[in-house]
Amino acid sequence: MQRKITEQVYEKLTQTITLEQDTDFADLAELKALDNTTKGSIRVYRGDKIEKFTLGEISMAPGMDYCSVTLKPRPEYEIPRLGINYMVAGDTIQFDVDLYPPMDLVPRQEYVDTYYDLLKETYLAAKQAPHFAWRVSDHSWMRLNTSPYFFMSACEAGCRDAVDALINAYVDVWLKTHAGQERVGEVAARAMQERRAWLDRWLREREPERHMVEKVFGVEMTHRMSKAMI
């Protein structure tokens, strides 16, 4: 049986980074819906240069399984936020993956050259692949916050190996960026913290699937899940 993307990312990270489970979110290890059925789990970890590493596995409905990965670095490091959304519904996979920039990339072309452009060939090949249907986000707030290599697509479930390989390429670049970064000064860290706070706000307030999640888990539990996953 093929491993979930959450398991793959966890295994890859723990090969080089020591992780410690965040007990503040231990109550989410078993997600209870409003009807008292178990619908999945959320696990949160911390590690070197990592403020939050969240793995979510949620069954929204029969035949609809959702996985989420968030790697949120500490704000004093110029490391992007890795975000993965992965939904399997029947015979279709809908996914997106990105390395959300920690700073404005316009004046930082050398940073793009060193790290982001490691994805160039992989990204362009996947964008042109017949099994993917690449598209941009419909939401302006999302387009404003993503990197030049944001990838969103639907595909047939039989293309899962290709999806997983693409996502793992992004994880590899994240790990290289993580390894290459030293702590920045207070002014730069404050600027990245402010930028990140805006992204956090938009993700919480404008998540298009939030109302569907609230119908399954209720408003209070949805807020708690959001706090762990963003």
Alpha-carbon separation of residue 130 from 30, 98, 133, 154, 156 (angstroms): 38, 21, 7, 11, 11
Structural domain boundaries enclosing 53 = 5-229
Q: What is the pLDDT of residues 121-172, one digit of tens each?
A: 999 999 999 999 999 999 998 999 999 999 999 999 999 999 999 999 999 9
Residue 107 has pLDDT above 70, yes or no: yes
- Tell me what pLDDT residue 206 has: 85
- Going by pLDDT thresholds of 50, 70 and 90, the confidence category of residue 1 is low
- Going by pLDDT thresholds of 50, 70 and 90, the confidence category of residue 60 is confident
Asked whether the beta carbons of 39 and 58 are under 8 A apart, the reply is yes
Find the helix or strand (DSSP H, E) in which 12 lies: helix 5-14
Q: Quickly list DSSP for 174-185.
A: HHHHHHT-----
Q: How many domains does the chain have?
A: 1
Cα gap 151→125, rounded to integer Å: 12
- Tell me what pLDDT residue 62 has: 84
- Tell me what pLDDT residue 208 has: 75
Find all residues with CB under 8 Å of 97, minimum gap 6, and list them.
82, 83, 84, 85, 150, 151, 166, 167, 170
Q: What is the pLDDT of residues 185-229, one digit of tens each?
A: 999 999 999 999 999 998 888 887 788 889 999 999 999 999 999
18-22 mean pLDDT: 96
Cα gap 25→224, rounded to integer Å: 9
Whichever domain contains 136, its CATH number is 3.40.1500.20
C-beta atoms surrounding 174 within 10 Å = 21
90-97 mean pLDDT: 95
Cα gap 134→159, rounded to integer Å: 14
Residue 21 has pLDDT above 90, yes or no: yes
- Tell me what pLDDT residue 3 has: 87
